[in-house]
A = this chain, B = another copy of it.
Amino acid sequence: MTAVNRTDLEARDADDPLAPLRERFELPEGIIYLDGNSLGAMPVDAAMRVRDVVRKEWAADLIKSWNVHDWFNLPRRCGDKIATIVGASPGEVVAADSTSVNLFKLLAAALTLRPGRRIILSETDNFPTDLYIAQGLNRLLGGEHELRLIEDGANVIDAIAEAGDDLACAMITHVNYRTGWMHDMAATTAAAHDAGALMLWDLAHSAGAVPVDLNGANADLAVGCGYKYLNGGPGAPAFLYVANRLQDDIRPPLSGWMGHEAPFLFDTDYRPAEGITRNLCGTPSVIAMSALDAALDVFMDADMTALRAKSLALTDLFIDLMAQECGGPDGDWGFTCVTPAADRRGSQVSFAHADGYPIMQALIDRGVIGDFRAPDLLRFGFTPLYTRYTDVWDGVAALKDIMQTGAWDAAQFHEKAAVT
């Protein structure tokens, strides 16, 4: 492999057809932000939209805004935009609540649709809230289900087959939050269907990060996060997907008035709305959802295939530069890449290092923002919408300098871990 230098990367940035997308974001000076997998950067449109919603809609038009500015259909409008990003059809996705709450809704629905089947299958290394939600639901329902966890995500298809006709639902996160390992959505879904079970995907680390084709994979159910790669703002509303063919069968456990067939008749009896809307519960934050809605427009002007190509180019470059620059004079500064090759990789790269925590603190002190995941992972997200090739160089250069100077030994151990 020919050594790469910064000049080469300046040329790549200059030639990058996606480079203009960076201008859609407001990014702080002097920061190399490699944590869009935890909190996406702010789209300029989102800030402007929030200002307008507060000043022109809330303050000026007050209650009339529900009609005048069609706040009612905001969850559906956001949902239809997200549908284009995750390979779903209009009316199959709606923005609502948090990822955790949406997991509860759809897992409860799945168990109801597969009565008598006992097993919920997931991974030990799934994002914890997914497991916690399954545990809480199981306890609420009397503890008759088994949350079966597989140690190695690569074995999920075998584990599904083994669970067989006792499997109610396989609940898997498409891209692993720690390693960036990506499941084969179509094959895994097919295995669940072969077992007669339902498949529930968590797209927290894949929506907006990698091409997702829910319809192409014949997916049943999915949830995802609005504040990571979709850049909807801190704690942005999440989303959920229900395949058209299943929508009429869903009896929402969180049957709130926004999911009622006719909320403003104020009936005493719950009747689920048609289609995806029944999965709404209470009144959504209009300010928060408007920020997400505006943030999604960046994707409406981008092509997921082109974004994927750049994402892989950035992550490949990072892995290569780590080998080139941060192997150390003896070839071993202790970094081990735990992220797989391109065909199984999300849009992040993680390196294990015994001193991962202080090293990450030293990096953050220099303005290179990644994050640390216990016990030993340095995690770096690469958002092709706003990350430059030279950012990758500069981030690795900062890490090299830290390792050469031993700056990380002195790093303070004060920071709480950041939110994924």
Contact = CB atoms under 8 A, between A and B. Distances in A.
Interface in A263-313: 263-270, 281-289, 291
Copy number in the complex reads 2
Contacts of A227: 283
A226 B104 CA distance: 23
A136 interface: yes
A32 to B, nearest CB: 11
Contact of A136 (B33, B59, B254, B419): B254
A395 interface: no
A285 B282 contact: no
A164 interface: no
Contact of A254 (B46, B133, B266): B133
A363 interface: no
A99 B418 CA distance: 28
Interface in A117-160: 124, 127-129, 131-133, 135-137, 139-141, 149
A216 interface: no
A266 B417 CA distance: 10
Nearest to A27: B59
Contacts of A58: 39, 42, 233-234
Interface in A402-420: 415-419
Interface string A49-69: 011011101111111111100
Interface in A210-236: 227, 233-236
A253 interface: yes
A238 interface: yes
Contacts of A419: 63, 66, 283
Contacts of A415: 67
Contacts of A269: 131, 135
A254 to B, nearest CB: 6
Given A62-B28, A234-B285, A256 B39 contact: no
A194 interface: no
Contacts of A50: 50, 54, 287
Contacts of A393: none
Contacts of A67: 415-416, 418
Contacts of A285: 233-237, 285, 287-288
A136 B62 contact: no
A67 B412 CA distance: 15
Given A31-B62, A59-B47, A291-B287, A282 B251 contact: no
Contacts of A233: 54, 58, 285-287
Given A26-B59, A60-B28, A135-B270, A282 B128 contact: no
B98 A132 contact: no
Given A234-B287, A285-B288, A253 B136 contact: yes
A70 to B, nearest CB: 10
A372 to B, nearest CB: 10
A38 interface: yes
A236 B53 CA distance: 13
A92 interface: no
A101 B281 contact: yes
A46 B59 CA distance: 11
A371 interface: yes
A34 to B, nearest CB: 10
Contact of A38 (B46, B63, B257): B63
A237 B268 CA distance: 24
10 contacts: A27-B59, A50-B50, A64-B364, A67-B418, A71-B235, A100-B283, A101-B282, A129-B256, A140-B141, A233-B285
Given A235-B287, A266-B374, 14 more contacts: A42-B58, A47-B55, A50-B287, A51-B51, A64-B364, A67-B418, A71-B234, A98-B283, A100-B257, A128-B268, A136-B270, A235-B285, A264-B417, A283-B419
A-B interface, 3 closest residue pairs, ranked by CB to CB distance from nearest: A98-B282, A136-B255, A100-B256
